[in-house]
Structure 1
Amino acid sequence: MSETLNLYPPPKKLEWAEGSSAIGSSFVIHAQDEQSERIAFELRLQERLNAAAARIGGGGSSDKTAVNVVRREGLHPQGYMAEWDGGEVTLFFGEAEGLHYAAVTLEQLLVRHGRRWPHFRIEDEPDFPVRGIMLDIGRGKIPKLETLYALVDRMSALKFNHLQLYMEGFDFDYNEFRDSFPEATPITAGEFRLLDAYANERFVDLVPSQNCLGHMGPWLAKPAFADLAEHPGGQATPLPVKLPPTTLNPTDPRSLELVGKMFDELLPHFASGYVNVNMDEPFGLGRGQSKQRADEIGVPRLYMEYASKVFDIARSHGKRILMWGDIVTKHKEIIPLLPPDVTVLDWNYDDHTSFEAHCKLLSESGVPFFVCPGTSTWSAITGRTDNMLANIADAARHGKAHGAGGLIVTDWGDSGHWQPPVASYPAYALAAAASWHTAKGALDHAAMEQYVTECMLRDGSGAAGKLTLELGRYYHLENSTLENMTYTSYLLNRGLSSREKLESETQMLVQLLVEIGGRGIPFALDYRYEEMQDWLRSREEELSGLRLDLPDAELIKEELRNALRLVAHGAGLHRYIFGLELPDAEAERAWLAHLQADLADIIETFNRLWLARNRQGGLEASARNLYKLLGQYEDRLRDCEAKKEK
């Protein structure tokens, strides 16, 4: 059969019939019974299909194409069947969500095949019941409501059904605590209700997510909450570095009172049956104010003693519990203590570590769990593409093999959340396909690239998908052993210094990561500067050739261009620190002046682009290290001028 059918995520079963036919100028819905008619009406099925047909313009006959809607018992609740024989379209479904996904399939067919379709029969249902995205809004980058609406639309087109907005700062407008965060621009209760309704109409479950133990740094930095910390004033380490307070004291009743007040305000605005209580990375737990209790019962039981009380608070709101699994899988004695209504979110973001062992452990222990790989875009500016591809595929394969109930791709904002949204598009697309049809979706990178080009970015040049993937490959030219970040991002955040100090402090960072649970690979660097310059020039040329057919096309291109400038600036900073092709003091001073002017312009553009999609609050914190570096350039230039005058 010479015909092809471009659908992403790929359907489970596709059968061909002879020939192809043009659809009519519009669609008319014929329902089998009153219940099917009601569901089709509630989904605005006819309106959606006609709107999609109108967007692709003319070319079909003036006739209307009938869409027969048939409810059939026994189909997967999210499954559907679709047939096109040249005369009419027939859609079979069991539940409303299945009919929604059938409609998404037809909408994509219109976008990618126009008005002539090969004759086909599709039988389709997902491998993972829960498929979604966790977007970090807790590191300052809180999107505007219209930005979040656009994200939900993007998710719906990929057949995702779960969205978490991760919170660790004042990201929701808690009325009782507003006075402690005058600088914040949080999402209000009314906005969350609007977003919740918008998401639910598209079968996306908007799940509240609020930290309750670790990752409470923004709260513990405020005077009103400082004494709730496990380590008020900071946590000492074996190194000459002190970690800021990030973990609540689990033995202080006021910690639970704070969680209770948060949930009382937050949870009523969500229809979801879930809440993510997080509970991950409680650095220093049992070594500060809770040490006496930890010495009595052990750190794992101390953790569960507190967690159980948090679970009770969540249950009082009628919620089932999601929680990160790092402590559970590290301390296996906790597993028998987990209640059956708790689902563990098993996370791992490195391609050298497989999900297999944790999936097997949780499955054999009878613990409900989701697998949670990452976009690999945080602390990376434009991403770490090949790490992402392997990480998501591994999560999908082992999650499916061991019965994971969901796959959630995480999109964090570490190190200032500098990555543009489009940098995460390939990861979103791959995670959607891998969680819908693991066998075909996890490794079909070409289909993913084509979907990003044609559907997510609507690029007439045909190059956008390939470019977004290639933008996340500059880290290979760094040849750095730093984990979960790129050297370029680290360098820009760390600031100006000598080569000797850079290497010394980076080794200290590795030791610090060991102290808080990291792998601690010794730092090594073989930076390929000349190749990086060639790579940057090629990407800039490719970016200039994109022809995006989107309302925010120019904004997307500006975001990518400024992200590339940040990468290029990091390369320039490396050149300065290591003295590459800078033979004398005057050459160094001239290059430093170039860096100062370049970064000033990058920051100005960064601020403007941030405000196009996101709220003001958090911008200062996100750009703080860029301003710090700019100030260091200016100080160094003054020193150079002073020496020159002498």
Structure 2
Amino acid sequence: MTENLLVIPYPKKVSFSQGIYEVKKTGSILFDGPDAKKIGILLRKLLLNYDLNYILKSSKSSQENNGKIYLIINSKVVPQIQGYKLIIDDSITIIGNNSAGLFYGLQTLRQLLRQFGLNIPKLVIEDYPDFLHRGIMIDISRDRVPKMETLEYIIDKLSELKINQLQLYMEHTFAYTNHKEVWEDYSPLTHDEIVYLDNYCKERFIELVPNQNTFGHMSKWLVHEKYRHLAEAPDGYTTPWGTKYDYPFSLSPAVPESINLVEELLDELLPLFDSDQVNIGCDETFDLGVGKSKELCEKYGKGKVYFDFLMKIYSIAKKHKNNVMFWGDIIENHPEFIPLLPKDMIAMVWGYEENHPFEEKCKLYSKSGLSFYVCPGTSTWNTFIGRTNNAVGNIRNAILNGKKYGAIGVLTTDWGDNGHVQHLPLSWVGYLYSAHLSWNTQDLQMRKFIDGMDM
């Protein structure tokens, strides 16, 4: 029977009993407290989709003879954080370690109903995540800004997969009050839309983490005359792979007004999010030292100049958020500065090929004592149909090494380089596989994974 269960993420432990439980047409959702009641409201909505009429009742006062679904929060019965126990016998019982655990048990029940309808095998599922932070990042700056209904659809599906963090990567696609010329042609998210999405995520146990690049990847700002003087290399630069990039790219640490712009942006953006974290970017500053900061870099070293500007951005972000994330690729080239980073920073360790040296990178941060995420990718960008085999290998490589060396989270990225030509459905392979492995690092047979995707 186990091989017929199509649930993503696949649970840690599944025990089947004899028989089938037929979900009754009417009954009660019996909750043990106000937090369980909130999950019960979501369960009632789910059951109405199957024409099932279940009434919410306190478990202390009910004498129900029809169908019973018990919702219980008890950290002694389920000690693992975010864990749950789902029992289907002569009734349905979901026990959560906390509200999140109860919600995740509901998501498993949702998938069982989708697979089996109203005749579910009797079973016991005991389940909990290997990573407490399981995220997806979507690039909304490179040429595709999703409509609100698309973002709602993505959030709904990610919550069903027990993903609990979402980042929307932004360079210029937020409607900053004083910078209309930067975003006016790019369908930016507005203040009200951010607040709405933040609440929409929260209701589904997803943390919406602000993600605004603040150092490199600033071309959409720096091409405008108003900001051009802030650029490290206003006329472009030669990339590490030998091609010419014809536009300004990074803010220059040698220009004092650069950090003022960063402060203005973060002061406006960050208070809109309830999350206590922020991703400040700071990746791929390839032009650092080739323009206005050349003299500084020659005098102090490129690593020192990068580190000092990173610390200035960190100090601004800390006014609003307790934990500051940054992409780790540049600091990895100057590992002597890693021990100097504040311990409330979180390095985002990224790489997108199947053979990326995640073990080496994870070991570096693990030895330093700095918290870190592993950040693989969906392997869809710069393609029309994706690179599925590479995505699976890359995600597996990242997550298994992250688990081995103590990463605190996973953020699987979906970029839009060079026109964002890929369509959203292609990215779901990466979303789903990351959702499984970040919850349950026991690898899933690929046939079962594919069948689970179809459900």
TM-score scaled to structure 2, two decimals?
Answer: 0.93
**Which of 46, 53, 66 is equivalent to 1:52?**
46
Specify the SS of the correspondent of 1:296. Answer: helix
Query: Structure 1 residues 422, 124: closer, same or farther in 2, change over 3 A?
Result: same
Specify the SS of the correspondent of 1:184. Answer: coil
Q: Alpha-carbon deviation of 1:50?
A: 3.6
Other-structure match for 1:84: 88
Other-structure match for 1:163: 166
**Which of 72, 75, 78 is equivalent to 1:73?**
75
State how far apart, in whole Å, the 1-side matches of 2:27 and 2:452 are: 25
Query: Structure 1 residues 107, 240: closer, same or farther in 2, change over 3 A?
Result: closer
Specify the SS of the correspondent of 2:15. Answer: strand
Q: Alpha-carbon deviation of 1:263?
A: 0.7
Specify the SS of the correspondent of 1:440. Answer: coil
Specify the SS of the correspondent of 1:374. Answer: coil
Q: Alpha-carbon deviation of 1:180?
A: 4.3
Other-structure match for 2:268: 265
Deviations 1:4-60, CA, capped at 9 Å, x for gaps? 43221111111222222211114522234xxxx2012223x2x433433343468x9
Kept in 1: contact 2:236–2:244 (CA 8 A): no
* 1:192-591 equivalence runs, <5 A: 192-236=194-238, 241-441=244-444, 444-454=445-455
Query: Structure 1 residues 31, 181: closer, same or farther in 2, change over 3 A?
Result: closer
Kept in 2: contact 1:8–1:447 (CA 8 A): no
**Which of 168, 172, 184 is equivalent to 1:182?**
184
State how far apart, in whole Å, the 1-side matches of 2:272 and 2:300 are: 37
State how far apart, in whole Å, the 2-side matches of 1:414 and 1:241 are: 17
State how far apart, in whole Å, the 2-side matches of 1:51 and 1:202 are: 14
Which amino acid counterpart does residue 22 of structure 1 have in structure 2?
A: E
Specify the SS of the correspondent of 2:280. Answer: strand
Q: Alpha-carbon deviation of 1:144?
A: 1.0
Which amino acid counterpart does residue 114 of structure 2 have in structure 1?
A: V
Bigger shift: 178-187 or 231-240?
231-240
Which amino acid counterpart does residue 46 of structure 2 have in structure 1?
A: A
Q: Alpha-carbon deviation of 1:364?
A: 1.6
Query: Identity, % of aligned pairs?
Result: 39
Kept in 2: contact 1:27–1:50 (CA 8 A): no
State how far apart, in whole Å, the 1-side matches of 2:396 and 2:69 are: 36
State how far apart, in whole Å, the 2-side matches of 1:203 and 1:235 are: 43
State how far apart, in whole Å, the 2-side matches of 1:258 and 1:20 are: 62
Kept in 2: contact 1:231–1:288 (CA 8 A): yes
Deviations 1:182-228, CA, capped at 9 Å, x for gaps? 32321000000001000000011101111111000111111110110
Which amino acid counterpart does residue 16 of structure 2 have in structure 1?
A: W
Q: Alpha-carbon deviation of 1:72?
A: 1.6
Other-structure match for 2:62: none
Kept in 1: contact 2:3–2:448 (CA 8 A): no
Q: List alignment gaps of at least 5 residues for structure 1.
A: 455-646
Q: Alpha-carbon deviation of 1:3?
A: 8.1
Structure showing the higher strand proportion among its residues: 2
Specify the SS of the correspondent of 2:82. Answer: coil
Q: Alpha-carbon deviation of 1:70?
A: 2.4
Q: Alpha-carbon deviation of 1:71?
A: 2.3
Bigger shift: 140-149 or 1-10?
1-10
Q: Alpha-carbon deviation of 1:318?
A: 2.9
Other-structure match for 1:596: none
1:40 aligns with 2:42: no
Query: Structure 1 residues 246, 127: closer, same or farther in 2, change over 3 A?
Result: same
State how far apart, in whole Å, the 1-side matches of 2:269 and 2:249 are: 21
Q: Which has the bigger relative contact order, CA under 8 A and spacing at least 6?
A: 2
Which amino acid counterpart does residue 200 of structure 1 have in structure 2?
A: K
Specify the SS of the correspondent of 2:103. Answer: helix
State how far apart, in whole Å, the 1-side matches of 2:442 and 2:428 are: 21
Other-structure match for 1:14: 14
Q: Alpha-carbon deviation of 1:324?
A: 0.5
**Which of 161, 171, 174 is equivalent to 1:172?**
174
1:153 aligns with 2:147: no
Kept in 1: contact 2:322–2:344 (CA 8 A): no
Kept in 2: contact 1:10–1:440 (CA 8 A): no
Kept in 1: contact 2:12–2:127 (CA 8 A): yes
State how far apart, in whole Å, the 1-side matches of 2:400 and 2:95 are: 29
Deviations 1:356-410, CA, capped at 9 Å, x for gaps? 1111111122111111111110000110111111101111111111111111110
Deviations 1:300-334, CA, capped at 9 Å, x for gaps? 11111011110110011133101101012222112
State how far apart, in whole Å, the 1-side matches of 2:411 and 2:347 are: 12
Other-structure match for 2:115: 112
Q: Alpha-carbon deviation of 1:453?
A: 1.3
Structure showing the higher helix proportion among its residues: 1
Number of matched residues? 442
Which amino acid counterpart does residue 18 of structure 1 have in structure 2?
A: Q
Kept in 1: contact 2:2–2:14 (CA 8 A): no
State how far apart, in whole Å, the 2-side matches of 1:425 and 1:258 are: 36
Query: Structure 1 residues 142, 261: closer, same or farther in 2, change over 3 A?
Result: same
Query: Structure 1 residues 295, 161: closer, same or farther in 2, change over 3 A?
Result: same
State how far apart, in whole Å, the 2-side matches of 1:163 and 1:26 are: 36
Query: Structure 1 residues 435, 27: closer, same or farther in 2, change over 3 A?
Result: farther
Kept in 2: contact 1:348–1:374 (CA 8 A): yes
Specify the SS of the correspondent of 2:216. Answer: coil
Kept in 2: contact 1:237–1:243 (CA 8 A): no
Please give the root-mean-square deviation of Cα atoms over the aligned residues, in Å: 2.0
Greater C-alpha Rg: 1
State how far apart, in whole Å, the 2-side matches of 1:149 and 1:2 are: 32
TM-score scaled to structure 1, two decimals?
Answer: 0.66
